[in-house]
Structure formats: structure tokens, C-alpha cells
Amino acid sequence: MMHLVLATSWLDPIVNAMAQVVLFINKYVNNLGWSLIILAALIRGVFWPLNAAQFRSMMKMQRIAPQIKKLQARYKDDNQKLQQETMALYKQQGVNPLAGCWPMLVQWPFILSVYYVVMNHKNLFENQDWMWIGSSISQAYPNILATSLAHSDVVLLVLYAASMYLSVRFGSMPATDPQQAQTQRLMSFISPLMLGFFGWKYHWPSAMVLYWFSFNAFTMAQTLYMLRKSHEPLSFADSSHMITDVPAPEDAANQKALPGDGAARSNGASKSKTPRSGSARSKKKNRKGA
């Protein structure tokens, strides 16, 4: 219990603020379920710049992933050299590997605080309904459907687990090696199953699950919007696929050289010029002969 007390102590200002925002929205909506959904949308909107920066960082990291794989193969026996060349590549491409992590760390207290909002004010959600929750159908099947937002709802837990699976799969950068790809595939299944199991076992209030489900739904909507805006397919953000050594055709022309590849590429360029110059001379001789 000690860690729970410590957690709520520094979260108290955020928890109180979230509770006031929910109650303010509810004055106009008159439904705490829809108020929580609007709160999730507002939080995603407030942190839109951070989420956009996180998405751009993920795109940059994915684009240089094939080059990182080449460095790993080249310096597999020299970790110090690998680290130096990797940092040089990050600097050359303008990539910050930490830029994809800190936006989520900033938002995490706001995501977690809703749990305490619901638990500390559970009586407010006792007689609140939303969609099928609290309807006559839920009264007939109280073990499956919640009779109010203060009670657990199996259908909503399943929807939340599905949204969590999609968030993990399409919210993480694709793997760069088979082992990492296998680990990410397992996590995309295990994490939602564990959360769904804990939610069912400990009877999480449907109000809390509704907020987290809405947050995941808005997260996926934002990801799809950014993919469409940047003209990228959904597979670009699919963590179940492994990044290969072959860059995308549209990136080949813009791809910068790896650190230390200048000499090799210049030699390749000089060799490629030789046959072209020879073919040009043969064409000139043919013209003169004609």
C-alpha cells in the first residue's frame, strides 16, 4: 500500500484538476460517460504537438533503421566503434532516439490520474449510464454488462483489450531483427490479455475502462491521420513487420550515405563511369564509319 500512497501524493493536483474538468464538462453534457470521452479527446488535443513530434521521431528512426542494421553488421565485434558510428549517424540524419519516449512520459500522469478520479469519486458514477451500460439489457445480464459506470463491464473490457492491441501494434516502431520482432509480436498479444484479465478479476469500473478505451481510439485516429498526411501506408507503423535492409523506393534518392561510406561510394561511382565512357566512344566510332 505504501507505493500507492506515494503515487497518489504527487498525482493529487492532476487528479483534482481532472475531476473538476469532468464535472465541468458534465454540466453541459449531463452524462459522465460522454464527459470522460470528451476528456480523453481534450487531452489528446492538448498534447497534439508532443504526439506529432513523437510520430516524426518514429518515422525518422524507421527510415534510418536499415542503415543502423548495416552498422551493426559491420561493427558487430566492436561495440565502442558501433556506438560512435551510430551516434554519428543520428547526428547526420538529425535524429534524437529519446524524442519518441518523453512525450508519452509527460502524458502518462494524465492517463493514470483518471483511475484515481473514478476510484475517489466512485459514488458519482453509481447511477450513471452510457450506451448499453445501465440499460434494461444490462439489468438482465449483470454479470456481463455493467448496470452503471461504477461497475465492471465485460464487453467494454474486450473493446479496451482490442484497442490496446492495435495501439501496441501500430504505435511502436517496427523491429530491426527477428528476435525483437518476435518479442514485439508476443507483447502485442500478452499486454492486452493481461490488462483484460486484471480488469475482469479486479472488477475495474467501466467509467475508467471507457476513458482508456477512448484514449486508445483517439490515439489510433491521430496515427492514421498522420500516416495519411505524410502519404505513408498503415504498414509503415506496423510493429509486427521487421524492417529490412532494402529502403523504400521513394527514400532511395534521398537516403544519405552511411558514416565511412564516402570512399566506397566514390570508387563505385568512378567504376560506373568507365563503361559509360567506353560505350560513348564506340557510338562515336560507329557514326564516323557510317
Taking 50 as the threshold, does the pLDDT of residue 125 lie above it? yes
Strand partners, 80: none
State mean pLDDT over 72-95. Answer: 81
- Least confident stretch, 63-67, 84-88, 175-179, 229-233: 175-179
Q: Is 37 exposed, middle or buried (0-12, 13-18, 19+ CB in 10 A)?
A: buried
Determine if residue 173 is left, alpha or beta; phi over 0 gives left, psi from -120 to 50 gives alpha, anything else beta: beta
- Least confident stretch, 137-151, 173-187, 219-233, 236-250: 236-250
Q: Single out the residue of 61, 98, 107 nearest to residue 236, CA to CA.
A: 61
Q: Is 249 exposed, middle or buried (0-12, 13-18, 19+ CB in 10 A)?
A: exposed
278 in a domain, yes or no? no
Cα distance between residue 165 and residue 195, in whole Å:
10
Provide the pLDDT for residue 201.
Answer: 82
Question: Helix, strand or coil for residue 200?
Answer: helix
Condensed to tens digits (0 to 9), the pLDDT of residues 5-18 reads 444 567 888 888 88
CA angle 11, 169, 114 (to 5 degrees): 20
State mean pLDDT over 30-45. Answer: 93
Q: Which domain holds residue 34?
A: 7-247
pLDDT-based confidence at 219, cuts 50/70/90? confident
80 in a domain, yes or no? yes
Taking 90 as the threshold, does the pLDDT of residue 39 lie above it? yes
* pTM (predicted TM-score): 0.70
Provide the pLDDT for residue 180.
Answer: 67
The residue that leads in pLDDT, 184 or 207, is 207
Cα distance between residue 75 and residue 11, in whole Å:
45
In degrees and rounded to multiples of 5, residue 134 shows phi and psi of 85, 5
Provide the pLDDT for residue 248.
Answer: 43
Report DSSP letters for 133-160, one per residue.
Answer: BTSHHHHH-TTTS-SSTTS--HHHHHHH
Residue type, 82: L
pLDDT-based confidence at 284, cuts 50/70/90? very low
pLDDT-based confidence at 279, cuts 50/70/90? very low
State mean pLDDT over 93-99. Answer: 71
98 in a domain, yes or no? yes
75 in a domain, yes or no? yes
- Which three cell numbers mark 231? 502519404
> Cell 560505350, residue?
279
Number of H helices, E strands in the chain: 11, 0
pLDDT-based confidence at 174, cuts 50/70/90? low
In the chain, the number of structural domains is 1
Provide the pLDDT for residue 247.
Answer: 43
Q: How many CB atoms lie within 10 A of CB 161?
A: 22
Average pLDDT, the chain: 75
166 in a domain, yes or no? yes
State mean pLDDT over 129-147. Answer: 90
110 in a domain, yes or no? yes
Do 134 and 126 contact (CB within 8 A), yes or no? Answer: no
Cα distance between residue 112 and residue 114, in whole Å:
6
> Cell 454488462, residue?
145
The residue that leads in pLDDT, 262 or 104, is 104
283 in a domain, yes or no? no
Provide the pLDDT for residue 130.
Answer: 93
19 in a domain, yes or no? yes
